[in-house]
Amino acid sequence: MVRNGIDCIARYANLFKGKRLGLITSPTGLTHDFRTTIQVLHEQFHLAALFSPEHGVRGDQAAGVEVDSYLDPMTGVPVYSLYRADSKRFSQEMLDEVDMIVFDIQDVGVRYYTFIYTMLYALEDCARAGLEFTVLDRVNPLDGVTVEGNLLKEGYQSFVGNYPLCIRYGMTAGEVARMANEQMNWNAKLHVVRCEGWEREMQFPDTGRMWIMPSLGIPRFDTALLYPGTCLFEGTNISEGRGTAAPFEMIGAPFIDAYQLADEMNAKNLPGVIFRPVYFKPSTSKHQGELCSGVQLHVTDRRALQPVATGFMLLDTICRNYEDFRFLPPLKEGSRPFIDLLCGEKLYGEGRGMALLDVSDMLERFHVESQSFADMKRQYHLY
Please report the sign of the dihedral spanned by the C-alpha atoms of residue 382, residue 158, residue 225, residue 37: positive
pLDDT digits (tens, 9 = 90+) for 109-150: 999 999 999 999 999 999 999 999 999 999 999 999 999 999
Contact yes or no for 150/369 (Cβ under 8 A): yes
Look at residue 267 in the predicted model and tell me its pLDDT: 98
Q: Tell me the C-alpha distance between 68 and 95, whole Å.
A: 17
Q: Hey, what's the torsion of the CAs at 74, 80, 83, 86, to 10 degrees?
A: 150
Question: E strand or H helix at 92, and its extent?
Answer: helix 92-95
Q: Is a pLDDT exceeding 80 seen at residue 62?
A: no
Q: For residue 140, how many C-alpha atoms fall within 13 Å in the half-sphere facing its CB?
A: 27
Look at residue 195 in the predicted model and tell me its pLDDT: 98
Q: Is a pLDDT exceeding 80 seen at residue 67?
A: no
Contact yes or no for 110/116 (Cβ under 8 A): no
Q: Tell me the C-alpha distance between 24 and 29, whole Å.
A: 9
Mean pLDDT of 42-70: 82
Contact yes or no for 235/337 (Cβ under 8 A): yes
Average pLDDT, the chain: 95
Pairing label, strands 78-81, 70-71: antiparallel
End-to-end CA distance of the chain: 16
Q: Tell me the C-alpha distance between 228 and 266, whole Å.
A: 19
- CA triple 219-224-230, angle to 5 deg: 105
Q: Tell me the C-alpha distance between 309 and 232, whole Å.
A: 11
φ/ψ of 78, rounded to 5, equals -65, 140
Q: Is a pLDDT exceeding 60 seen at residue 355?
A: no
Contact yes or no for 109/32 (Cβ under 8 A): no
Contact yes or no for 238/251 (Cβ under 8 A): yes
Lay out the sheet containing 273-280: strands in order across.
Answer: 250-253, 292-299, 273-280
Look at residue 284 in the predicted model and tell me its pLDDT: 95
Q: Tell me the C-alpha distance between 268 and 109, whole Å.
A: 27
φ/ψ of 103, rounded to 5, equals -115, 125
Look at residue 54 in the predicted model and tell me its pLDDT: 78
**What domains are defined for the chain?**
5-214 (3.40.50.12170), 221-352 (3.90.1150.140)
Q: Tell me the C-alpha distance between 295 and 179, whole Å.
A: 38
Q: Tell me the C-alpha distance between 176 and 168, whole Å.
A: 12
Confidence band for 107, pLDDT divided at 50, 70 and 90: very high
pTM over 0.85: yes
Look at residue 356 in the predicted model and tell me its pLDDT: 60
Q: Tell me the C-alpha distance between 242 and 283, whole Å.
A: 8
Look at residue 39 in the predicted model and tell me its pLDDT: 97
